[in-house]
Structure 1
Amino acid sequence: MSKNFTEVIKNQTILTKKEKINIIIQLSIPTILSQISSILMQYIDAAMVGHLGPNASASIGIVSTSSWLLSGLCSAMATSFAVQVAQLIGANQNQKARRTFRLAIITSLIFSSILLGLGVLVNHSLLKWLGCDPIIFNDASAYFLVFTLSLPILQMNSLCSSMLQCSGNMKIPSFLNAAMCGLDVIYNLIFIHYFGVVGAALGTAFAQLTIAIINFWYTTSRSPLLQFKKNEPFFLEKHTLQNAFSIGTPLAFEHIAICGAMIMSTKIIAPLGTIAIAAHSFAVTAESLCYMPGYGLEAAATTLVGQCMGAKRKELAKSFSNFTIAFGAIIMGIIAIIMFFIAPFVFQILTPDLQTQTLATNVLRIELLAEPLYGVSIVASGALRGAGDTLIPSLLNLLSIWGVRLTLSVILVQTMGLYGVWLAMCIELCVRGLLLLYRQQRGKWLHKDLS
């Protein structure tokens, strides 16, 4: 399928509405299943740690947003090169696409190593700044340390998966991600038993390492479009690095803005106590099952728009973006309705603590109202990213999350506690979806040119 749709785009074939939908479905399903399996891994982690007690859950919850910040920066680095590869493949410049991939490996490893060093340096001071309870300080610190040490592994997984997806191969990254979930369960059973909270981080790190080795081998040796070829020249290209900087920098600042706001939210929630922190962490984990299909469609949108832009098929790029955004809103809306009713049962699986179950259920139900527009924001971002349009969407995200979510959180937490934080989140996600939909519909991104 990946070869077929790529050739269809390159050959300027006219597509019917039904054919466009079929391409989106076939591209999205493997990635959606992969994302769901990834979420199941988080559920398993949360459930295993949750049965150690609320303090154990809180020790992971308080550093979760900081972990997302670092992993998001790794993702931005991977995307900054993967978008270029998608457009080069669409333009039938496969040799240059492989050179870009090689340069991405070198740059990404340097970048993730720098993040590793920074993470180790700020470990203790970050937890103190977040107002971490002394009872959970040691576990939280150890968990975050193991996570930061595994960043180069996470980076290589993210890079190889992004490259394969942007070349049109959704199946291999999806299969490997699902396999990583299975390995995570096995490693967690071993490590959590012996090391408690930090064992969850060790289990995930070893699962990522196993899959990273396979992922790198396949991408560099077996991928029809990306595999390294003997005697093929490689040299640093200034233009490629400039494009990576122009695409990746706004994405990096977007992740910093979003995760920085989440860290601030954690700081706002921390004084509410370990039950609130644990409930917040579990609710975030449960909600991820709703938005992961959106990220599957986001990957498809980035690939399709990127290859269409490379092939100079701008109308087709706009059409694919419209369809994927509509699917994102519909699918996430349906899953939100289901989650509204099954939430109590989900939290019974994740934690035995009744107070945590009740609070997590109630706050999650508030936010579920925003899922359709959250889906719009996720997929629209992916479509815009495929065209290399990252600056304005990142500024819109910054405006929404800092101007709306944090401001409302500070106000509402005073009288509503954790409920206020999640109401603020619900309002902000709706605002974000409308802003990014407006940007996508205006169509200025169709005039971007990375060549």
Structure 2
Amino acid sequence: MKPSFGKDFTTGSIPRHLVRFALPILIGNLLATGYSIINAIWVGKLLGKDAVGAVAVSFPIFLGTVALCSGATLASSILVAKAYGAKDHAVIQRVVNHSWSIALILILTVTAGGYLLSDSLIRLMGTPEEIQSLAAGYLRISFVGFAGLYLSYLVSSVLRGVGDTVVPLLFVILSTVVNAVLDPVLIMGLAGLPELGLNGAALASLIATVLTTVMGILYVKRKYKGEPIHPTRLEFDGKAVAEILKLGLPSFVQQMLLSMGYAFITVFVNGYGAAAIAAFGVASRLDSIVAMPAIAMMMAASTLTAQNLGAGKGERIKDVLKWGIVINIPVIVVVSAVCVSFPEAVMRIFVREQDVISSGVDYLRIVGAGYLFFIFFYVSNGIINGAGKTVSTLIISFISLCVIRIPLAALLSHTSLGLRGIWAAIVISFAVTTASSLLYYASGRWLPDRGRSGAKPHRMAAE
């Protein structure tokens, strides 16, 4: 018997499910990345390289808040998907109620702490003095918008758990449109509003996020009225919270490692001046764009894995890996080829200064080839996470970032390679991530304890 809501991925064609699940996520992620892309274009064209550098310095810290959002809510998505595969609505409701309780605590803590510590965080990054004030102001406004950011992740994660990726896409479309309209208005002070400069770009994102998150929550409550995907009350049972944290905390730490990796690389790049910082800021956003198709496939692989393990159909997972990789290949190859073959044209979309473009061209020619590794490790990591082995992907990320990328970047940046050495370290870390993830998948250690072909779902007690 199929559930009365959501989409059941425990039967039918694996490649069809992957595409149908991943495509709305890909579109939504591209549009969400449009937040930072739109900001980068307006900031670069209207405010110059100091403002671009200020955004670049703030970006690793912003990635930290995104890490918290995606890491904490990944646990909700996995637990909901497993319970959905097992057709246990009581467990779904309990996961949702506890997830919202955790959300309120995190929102209050991060918003207050981030706002008060913005200046200190910017200085800690080794930011050049001339852009510290710009970066701190931009970061403070970003922290104020954390509540909307986190709740949007939470609602989307629960919907993904039950197989719905279309509704979150609608919210992202609306948010991006609002952001695109408000950016020039608030930056330049159009329509009688004050000219806010870089703070206007941050405020535009804040308004767009909060507005569409509120509208999204109201829409989901109406569309899924009576279904267990929105909170009926706040719960904070110790065992239930511990189960969510057991899955979510490793993912959060993994995402934080990624953010720290960017932060350390930014510190290394800071030594090469404002032009290098601006180039790395633009390139970091390009990394995010290129990874979008692979990340969408990772999310699809994670949900299909969780639902099928919840239904005791673990034998279907091998097809998730195969078809996830096959679907990734043409998309990632084309994007990588464009970045490597036409790096100057890509950079000119965002900035005008030739010194910034030159640094960015070197980055794309070196790191662009490394994008090909995205084809593989995002799919295998998605399966591993969907099986609830988030500690394993944390270890993989730790090795890649803390053992390989950061020390190697520090070493190579002090050789004749200079900036190119930093870019080379990033590519090498991609290769290590891919090898580690595929080897762990091949080992079979991610499979449930009760066997390879199907096991009882990892469930949160509903009583």
Give yes or no for TM over 0.5.
Answer: yes
More divergent stretch after superposition (33-42 vs 190-199) = 33-42
Partner of 1:37: helix, strand, or coil? helix
Which residue is 1:437 aligned to? Answer: 438
Identity of aligned residues (%): 20
1:73 lines up with 2:68 in the alignment: yes
Q: State the partner residue of 2:50.
A: 55
Structure 2 regions of 5+ residues with no counterpart?
A: 189-194, 450-456
TM-score, length basis structure 2 = 0.90
Q: Provide the C-alpha distance between the structure 2 equivalents of 1:363 and 1:428, rounded to a whole number of angstroms.
A: 15
Who is 2:77 aligned against? Answer: 82
Q: Higher mean Cα deviation, 35-44 or 258-267?
A: 35-44
Q: How far, CA to CA, are the matches of 1:234 and 1:62 in structure 2?
A: 37
Q: In the alignment, residue 86 of structure 1 is paired with which amino acid?
A: A
Alignment match of 2:167 (pick from 164, 172, 184): 172
Query: How far apart are the structure 2 equivalents of 1:368 and 1:382?
Result: 22
Partner of 2:310: 310
CA 1:311/1:278 → structure 2, altered by over 3 Å: closer, same or farther? same
Alignment of 1:120-131 (within 5 A): 120-131=115-126
Measure the CA separation in 2 of the matches of 1:297 and 1:227.
23
Structure 1 or 2: larger helix share?
A: 1
Q: Which amino acid aligns with 2:448?
A: H
> What displacement does 1:374 show?
2.5
Does the CA-based 8 Å contact 2:276-2:356 persist in structure 1? yes
TM-score of the superposed pair, with normalisation by structure 1 = 0.93
* Alpha-carbon shift at residue 103 of structure 1 (Å): 1.7
Q: Are residues 1:404 and 2:409 paired? A: no
Query: How many residues were matched structurally?
Result: 442
Once the two structures are TM-superposed, the CA of residue 4 in structure 1 deviates from its matched residue by 9.6
Selected match of 1:450 from 432, 435, 458 = 458
Query: 2:248 aligns to what?
Result: 248
User: Hey, what does 1:281 align to over in structure 2?
Assistant: 281
Q: Distance in 2 between matches of 1:420 and 1:233?
A: 53
| Structure 2 CA distance for aligned equivalents of residues 218 and 299 of structure 1 | 23
Alpha-carbon distance in structure 2 between the residues aligned to 1:252 and 1:8: 26
Of 134, 141, 149, the residue aligned with 2:136 is: 141
1:418–1:226 Cα change, 3 Å: farther
Equivalent in the alignment of 2:199: 198
* C-alpha contact (below 8 Å) 1:83/1:386 kept by paired residues: yes
- 8 Å Cα contact 2:77/2:303 also seen in 1: no
Matched, 1:23 2:17: yes
Using the TM superposition, give the Cα deviation of residue 295 of structure 1 relative to its aligned residue in structure 2, in angstroms. Answer: 1.2
* 1:238–1:54 distance in 2 versus 1, CA, 3 Å: same
Q: 2:454: which partner in 1?
A: none
- Provide closer, same or farther for how the CA distance between residues 73 and 53 of structure 1 changes in structure 2, counting only shifts above 3 A: same
2:458 aligns to what SS in structure 1? coil
- 1:7 Cα deviation after fit: 3.9
Answer with 338-347 or 284-293: which moved more.
338-347
Shift of 1:425: 0.2
Query: Are residues 1:212 and 2:213 paired?
Result: yes
The offset of 1:209, in angstroms, is 0.6
Partners of 1:100 and 1:228 in 2: CA distance: 10
Q: Using the alignment, how far apart are the partners of 2:383 and 2:338 within structure 1? A: 27
Q: Which amino acid aligns with 1:252?
A: F
- SS, match of residue 176 in structure 2: helix
Question: Could you tell me how far 1:270 is from its partner in structure 2?
Answer: 0.9
* More divergent stretch after superposition (413-422 vs 317-326): 317-326
Partner of 1:132: 127
Higher deviation after alignment, 99-108 or 324-333? 324-333
Aligned AA (2:262): M
The alpha-carbon deviation at position 235 of structure 1 amounts to: 5.0
Distance (Å, rounded) in 2 between the aligned partners of 1:136 and 1:57? 10
Q: CA deviation at 1:219?
A: 2.8
Question: Which residue number in structure 1 is paired with residue 301 of structure 2?
Answer: 301
Shift of 1:35: 1.5
Question: Is residue 80–residue 248 contact of structure 1 (8 Å, CA) maintained in 2?
Answer: yes
The one-letter amino acid of 2:317's match is A
| Matching of residue 113 in structure 1 with residue 108 in structure 2 | yes
- Contact 2:8–2:162 (CA<8 Å) still a contact in 1? no
Distance 1:443 1:6, change over 3 A: farther
